[in-house]
Amino acid sequence: MQLKQVQINLNSPIGQLGEVRKSHLLQALGVPFTLQPAPIPGFVAYVDPLHRRSLMVSENQMVYLHEGENLSPDLRDAELILARARDGLLLDDRFVAGVQWIAHHEAEGAATELSVEHFLRLSATQIRALFQQALRGVGLRFTYESPPFTCDLRIEPFYADTAFFFIQFNAAHPQPLPLETIVLRAAEFGEYVRDETEEILGALLQG
């Protein structure tokens, strides 16, 4: 299991981002972050292309994003970046949080076939017959509680490259939490996706 992306969303009344606040935030983040056009309207983007990290900020939200080939669930760098942003914008240390991890699991080119054969109680022949043989694959979604977060785990073939399964994990909490707590739980969720989700997938494919 390889972790490919982590995203941490922090919702808070940030306020307007005038040129002075944009500049203060850029100084707080430091090198190698640069101010760049944001891909989402209403956001300001600070990008570290060397490490494939970015921080996007709007009047109500900060979004930290880190992409890579085999990320570590250790998020100490993320916590440092978000803490600098919090302090640079003079924000309270409580946020409504959302966390997302994306991972890939090696399937040796057979993710679509394996999903059809193992993800449902029906036989592969019965499943394909329901879709007139046009079925490409089967995905699963699990929702559960990991207090204080509500979690959502999705497993499906990675259709861009069926040598892999695509794993998406989301966690959200509706009440404000301190930044340190959010990042700690986000790191724990990363370890869960990397380690325990691989066991879940292995059990599914053996069934």
Q: How do the pLDDT tens digits run along the chain, 207 residues long?
A: 999 999 999 999 999 999 999 999 999 999 999 999 888 899 999 999 999 999 999 999 999 999 999 999 999 999 999 999 999 999 999 999 999 999 999 998 889 888 888 888 788 888 888 888 788 889 999 999 998 899 999 999 999 999 999 999 999 999 999 999 999 999 999 999 999 998 999 888 886
Instruction: Spell out a b/e string for 155-169, using b for 16 or more CB atoms within 10 Å of the CB, else e.
Output: bbbbeeebebbbbbb
Q: Which two tokens stand for residue 121?
A: 């109680």
Query: Residue 157: inside a domain, yes or no?
Result: yes
> Which domain range does residue 145 map to?
2-198
Q: How far is CA 77 from CA 2, 59, 81, 142, in A?
A: 19, 24, 6, 30
Report the pLDDT value the prediction gives residue 207, as an integer from 0 to 100: 61
For residue 203, the tally of other CB atoms under 10 A from its CB is 10
Considering its fold, how many domains does the chain have in total?
1
Q: Is 75 domain-assigned?
A: yes
Domain assignment of residue 173, yes or no: yes
Query: What pTM, to 2 d.p., does this model score?
Result: 0.91
| Residue 109, domain member (yes or no) | yes
Specify the residue for token string 């003079």. Answer: 90
Asked, for residue 184, whether it belongs to a domain, the answer is yes
**Phi, psi angles (nearest 5°) of residue 192:** -60, -45
Alpha helices (H) along the chain: 19-29, 76-88, 111-118, 124-130, 179-191, 197-206
Q: Does 203 map to a domain? A: no
Tell me the β-bridge partners of 34: 47
pLDDT at position 14: 95
Number of H helices, E strands in the chain: 6, 9
Q: Estimate the crossing angle of helix 179-191 against helix 76-88, to 10 degrees.
A: 160
Whole-number Å distance between alpha carbons of 201 and 192: 12
174 located within any domain: yes
Residue 126 CA neighbour count, 13 Å, CB half: 6
For residue 71, is it within any domain?
A: yes
